A and B are shown apart, each in its own frame.
Chain A
């Protein structure tokens, strides 16, 4: 087990396109770090550079204190789980899991013991004699994980391992992966485009966009204190609402003017933080779960506003309502008991202690 250090990592392709633009990241021993971001953000490229499957254009990668830039994948002591499982189709589950150890000339008894132990952890003991084609998607993914576990590597690398599974199985396997990490405690780097996976699995989430790291932090920190508009919009589902507004100061207090007749008071606790930006145009960010028809609480610093729903989506445990305000699309989470009707104005409460203000020029959260 080991730390992983990325120092000023750059990946440039022919023609000068930079997929990764000089990122720095320190991953601690035993840590579960998730790289998340939209397609083309450089997360998979970063993982593949750590694995040694892509050459590094610039910078340095160290695993367990050893710089591995020029070390081939087989000597990096890593194991990787791929999106399409990458099981060897002509080998049985047992042979698939034992392959890496056989190549490393482990004694047969030890291979057997390790494979059986990993199979027990993943609950695939009855499948050991089967060929991959006789397994379901979920079982294949377990075998792929088993192949990684038996190696007892310094680092586990997961490249979107759940993307090929259906929604129900994905949730189940997510839990399995978390359990496995809690059992084996190997340093893990996990790539996904699914922010729910990132939030549920990670000790720390690394949000990437356009080849750079936007923010690194524990899931709750990213959710409550996003550093940029991109992170604020990417983390959380449904995404955060961004409403153009003007920050005004009136007799020492701050307020947000969303429209001619919609003004929300900024809570006192935020006044000092935002005062310097008074009189400027900003983006008002609020998550749908903080824009509700709930009974206001003192802590929430409630601010009422009335909007007319355009679409209503009953989800069972909650109802999502979509509105439009001066071109900005807004979503709110409603109590399923609320009798919301399309076209009929609805009184909402904005929980202003959860508000965010974003500089529309720099896209930084203020």
Chain B
């Protein structure tokens, strides 16, 4: 009885709190519905790839039954693809290219970002903006002039030609991420290091790189993903199977005349997608922290 009386005499805000709860519930339902829809859209292709990779060639070719269900699961496609020397070459090429590109990108980006964020010099602001604008130029526009350059250097049909051109995609964005990260480090930290006796290179190595590690990891993941998944440049610059990375090798070399080995293609594509998935799974928190650093004053 007294509780009822108390409720009746509550000020208006408490009545509104009920509607706030309802609003929150509605927002949550909408979020879940959108997320589930997005998950279905994005996960359907890899799921279909997985299903197909577990089927025999006969089952894939057979039109009967639901294509989303595996009736006789088999690992023969995976065993065949692992046994295929060409696939191993693609994998090795991708690993070499990506390792080199990530290393080159990170060295250039960290040095450039440190200079642009900290060593105040004439034109540094314009340069920083210029670096970002470079990122906005799509690779489909760049590959024709780059073809001329790579051809001129005699690096067509070589993984080293790709090692040379991939940084044009990775360096601008990684530099931009690192500029934001370095800019979020308090200036007093460099001043304290300068007074403590550090030179500029020591300051970068002993203070900036360890402090900005989440940003560096984020940039590394980005460079890794771009380099691992690049399609336009290798399609344009590499035609010899021995020099192909996974992305184009799997789709171009696992086709025998008019016969598409769909099971092997799907198994190969899934295995090619595995390294980025593993890296994202372990370093996702760093990636998000790195992308959002400097967005708010901390």
Contact = CB atoms under 8 A, between A and B. Distances in A.
Interface of A: 51-53, 72-74, 78-80, 82-84, 86-90, 99-100, 103-104, 147, 151
Nearest to B188: A86
A53 B194 contact: yes
A73 B210 contact: no
B202 A82 contact: no
Dominant secondary structure at the B interface: helix
Interface in B185-236: 186, 188-189, 191-199, 202, 206-207, 210-211, 213
A34 B33 CA distance: 64
Nearest to B212: A90
Interface range, B side:
10 to 19
A161 to B, nearest CB: 12
A72 B193 CA distance: 12
A310 to B, nearest CB: 37
Nearest to A157: B195
A80 B197 contact: no
Closest 3 CB pairs of A and B: A100-B196, A86-B188, A86-B192
B210 A99 contact: no
B192 A74 contact: no
Dominant secondary structure at the A interface: loop
Given A88-B207, A88-B211, A90-B210, A74 B198 contact: yes
Contacts of B198: 74, 103
Contacts of B188: 82-84, 86
A99 B196 contact: yes
Contact of B195 (A79, A87, A89): A79
Contacts of A87: 192
A352 B196 CA distance: 52
Contacts of A84: 186, 188
Given A53-B195, A99-B193, 14 more contacts: A52-B195, A53-B194, A73-B191, A74-B197, A74-B199, A79-B195, A83-B188, A86-B186, A86-B188, A86-B189, A88-B193, A88-B211, A100-B195, A103-B197
Nearest to A151: B196
Contact of A86 (B191, B199, B210): B191
Nearest to B213: A90
A80 B195 contact: yes
Contact of A74 (B189, B194, B207): B194
A72 B194 contact: yes
A359 to B, nearest CB: 42
Contacts of B191: 51, 53, 73, 80, 82, 86
A103 B199 CA distance: 9
A74 B198 CA distance: 7
A90 B196 contact: no
11 contacts: A73-B195, A74-B194, A74-B196, A74-B199, A80-B192, A82-B191, A84-B186, A88-B211, A100-B195, A100-B196, A147-B196
